[in-house]
Structure 1
Amino acid sequence: MSEIGLIDWFAMLAGIIGVYLSVKEKTLAWLLFILCYTSYVYISFREGYYAFGGMNVVFVAIAGYGWYKWTKPENKHSGSEIQISHMPAKQRGLVALCIGIGTLGIGWLLASTGEARLPYYDAFATSCAFAAQWMLSRKHIENWIFWILSDVIYLVFFFNDRIWPSVVLFVVFIILAIKGWIEWKAKITALAAQNPSSQSST
């Protein structure tokens, strides 16, 4: 068991606040995500979860993209921002394929090093999180489902290692992901009622 330091607690707080703000569609969430992911680069390599560490390196860049997408008007003429929606049906198979390839490819690479712990579980959780982060940047409601899948796996990892700040963080992540799904679903329903012709394909 590694010694728990201030960085563990900082990552926990930044992550919780960031997810809460993302549920509420606040752009400031992305700054908190950048701080959280940067902290977890160190934490994950410290604990030997290399896919998780590499994921967080990439997530810093994706968070910058998400920040840009949430502040850029989706419609240049009306100035309206991107709206919550379901992921288009044509993209779902591609996302599933990417997760499968990511799990096998990243898992094989990690297993070949002989140092990574639970490489294929780590790779699957990482692949789900990549998909979820991309969906969140596009405000696709399905992001919450894939966050839950990823968070459950990492919750087990950190619980087994007794890294309690991360245990608390991922428990809260799961709760907030459920809350995010419920709130975003209600918003989609409300938008559809106001303008039935604008419903996204499901």
Structure 2
Amino acid sequence: MPSTLRDAWTSRVQVEDYEAHMAAIGQAQANAAHMAEFLARVGEPGARILIAGAGTGQMFDYLPPGAFDSHRGVFADINPRFLARLRRRNPGALCVADDLEASALTGPFHAAAVVLVLEHIQWRKGLDTLAALDPRYLFLVLQRNPEGMTTAVSPTRVLPASMQNLGGQHPELVDKNEAATHLQRLGYALIEEWPRNVPDSKVMLGLLFERVP
């Protein structure tokens, strides 16, 4: 993650601004539905599941109650204030401040999910980190834009105050095929994908990978 963008997400972006923006553009709701589907596909009772870049836990506002109760969820994010909000939503959640580009976590995990995070970091390094934790399943949600819109944030959207200048950097889209090729080199095969439409003609694209035996 470029240092200025890292600083923005670590200390400048306010919880209330982030949550209001995500709810207004429909991405929080869509990504919670992705998470529910991911858990239904790969969840096993007692499975250790990593949610990397878990943010404020806004997904719990839209997930069925107890969605993680049968799993050993680990919720990681670079911003401790975001994790504090997650704990308020789910007091029993295991939250860990961690950097996806250089994780201090210890695997293995049954599964790991990263939702709209790779666009904000050095995504290849992030995928390397996740693969090193040895999950059997790896779930990505990537943003797919309409033709001609190249950045992650729609140019017509007015962002909340603390998000208006993310350190002078702009989150960039991650190409599905490039991500799949990189993960193939790391021993993962794409086994399923499903899209969800959101406002501004964008798509939240869920990609499920499995480690090749």
TM-score (norm 1): 0.31
- The structure whose residues are more often helix, as a share, is 1
- Over alpha carbons, which structure has the higher Rg? 1
